[in-house]
Amino acid sequence: MRLDFLFFGELPFKTKYRLEKGCKVVYNSNENNLTVRTRQWRYNMSYRTERDSMGEMLVESDKLWGAQTQRSLENFKIGVGYESMPDEIIQAFSYVKEAAALANAELVPSRMNEKKLSAIRGACEKIRTGELKSHFPLVVWQTGSGTQTNMNVNEVIAGYSREFSGVTLHPNDDVNMSQSSNDTFPTAMRVSALMAIREGLLPELSLMTEELSKLENRYMDTVKCGRTHLQDATPISFGQEVSGWRASLERDMGMLDRACEGLKYLALGGTAVGTGLNTPRGFDTLVAEKLSELTGYGFVTDPNKFHALTSLSELVIAHGAMKALAADMMKMANDVRWLASGPRNGLGEIFIPENEPGSSIMPGKVNPTQCESVTMVAVQVMANDTAVGLCASQGNFQLNVFLPVCIYNFLQSARLLSDSLRSFRLNCVSGIRANEKRMAENLNRSLMTVTALNAHVGYENAAKIAKLAYSENITLREAALKLQLMTADDFDRVFHPERMI
């Protein structure tokens, strides 16, 4: 059958074209072919008919997904092209599906035979290599349980098996065997979160602490003026100052490491509401073992699936550690740009790499752009922490329905922090040099070195010395002699700022 008709608007399936008013659409059901003609172009699209429990859907022939993915594409055109489900979640799902297939093959071999198992494993491997990335188009802003992304994965695995392995798999009966979206999505969340921290964030954090250790050791004996409340304070070495940054990040590493332990408890095996309906006995324990073997991480089944399906507390804790890291990075970046401020009318105690021009109107101006990038990332992570916390507080009864937005923000934070640490280390921290001349000048002008005199003339007299030196713009030594509180020999004997660190 062939049918010509006029059409205006979007086709009933995803294309990159929006039709002009009065364009001609030629539909040939015998050849499964649709041709669109306008004055400017002719677009020829082949498609196939997919079916689910709600009926038929048209899907472009070169796409591996099925009817449920297509429905989601058409029903949730929100943030398209900008806020797709994170790649990390899809990668995690490939491990979950493979682990489930392996467990099913052991426990119910009559339903999950070697042929089906091999086909599922082959498709999961292709997902992990990124070769099937274009077949996962769904956005974050979908069902709050992530059901449509779970089905997108199921359908793509079945579609790949059909096209390339010659094995017929049913998305629900085979690929989703012994599973529900309600336990697979929370499981994929924890797998992706753990891997993002272990494989992305912690290695970058370790490299940054190593870089800071080098800077710390290089300048451990370089004495400078300390500062509290943005006012002069007693002396400190630049190496000691850097050690504070380094120690903060090391503490953050410890918190992140401990938080990862909570992410190892999985909802998988709880199915729809936590009871484990439609799973063979021992599935939850075995699938956690299989997932551990595939990923190299020691996942275990959560002893209480009712908690695992509804609570995101472990993700809140892990993101809280990332928020702590963001706060420390904000502090360090602010310290760096204050210390590098100038070049002539600021503190100017350190030099940082000059990476690009800083102004479109002021020639020669160079700005601390890497510091600014770090602080913007920190603000975003802090905002994400609010979203993650709010997500964890929501949902009703046996399910949390804010899962996609929770993991979207979590993974964005991990990714931003990893990238920011790398960029800041390579483009700024590794090139920091102390301006030792300026440090010495500022140290010698500081009035707070008078603290060294407390034990010899008392706090009150030391304060008189400092105030006189400030009001008359003279040195502490000159003020002490003028007030006749110390002799020149006594002052020279006890006043050694370099020993105050």
Query: Contact at 8 Å (CB) between 198 and 260?
Result: yes
Cβ-proximal residues to 308 (8 Å cutoff; 6+ apart), any chain? 183, 186, 265, 266, 267, 270, 274, 302
> What is the C-alpha to C-alpha distance for residues 377 and 420, in angstroms, rounded to an integer?
7
> What is the C-alpha to C-alpha distance for residues 337 and 352, in angstroms, rounded to an integer?
9
Exposure of 352 by Cβ count < 10 A (0-12 exposed, 13-18 middle, 19+ buried)? buried
Exposure of 267 by Cβ count < 10 A (0-12 exposed, 13-18 middle, 19+ buried)? buried
Query: Contact at 8 Å (CB) between 127 and 156?
Result: yes
> What is the C-alpha to C-alpha distance for residues 192 and 86, in angstroms, rounded to an integer?
10
Query: Contact at 8 Å (CB) between 67 and 57?
Result: yes
Instruction: Characterize 287-299 residue by residue with b for buried, 16 or more Cβ atoms within 10 angstroms of its Cβ, and e for exposed.
Output: bbbbbbebbebeb
> What is the C-alpha to C-alpha distance for residues 169 and 191, in angstroms, rounded to an integer?
25
In DSSP terms, 471 is beta-bridged to: none
> What is the C-alpha to C-alpha distance for residues 418 and 412, in angstroms, rounded to an integer?
10
Active-site option among 29, 61, 359, 393: 359
Catalytic site residue 496?
no
Active-site option among 229, 307, 319, 418: 229
**Can you say whether the dihedral through the CA atoms of 381, 383, 384, 386 is positive or negative?**
positive
DSSP 79-135: STTTSBPPHHHHHHHHHHHHHHHHHHHHH-TTTS-HHHHHHHHHHHHHHHHTTTGGG
Please count the other Cβ atoms lying within 10 Å of the Cβ belonging to residue 437.
10
Catalytic site residue 319?
no
Mind telling me the catalytic residues?
Answer: 229, 359
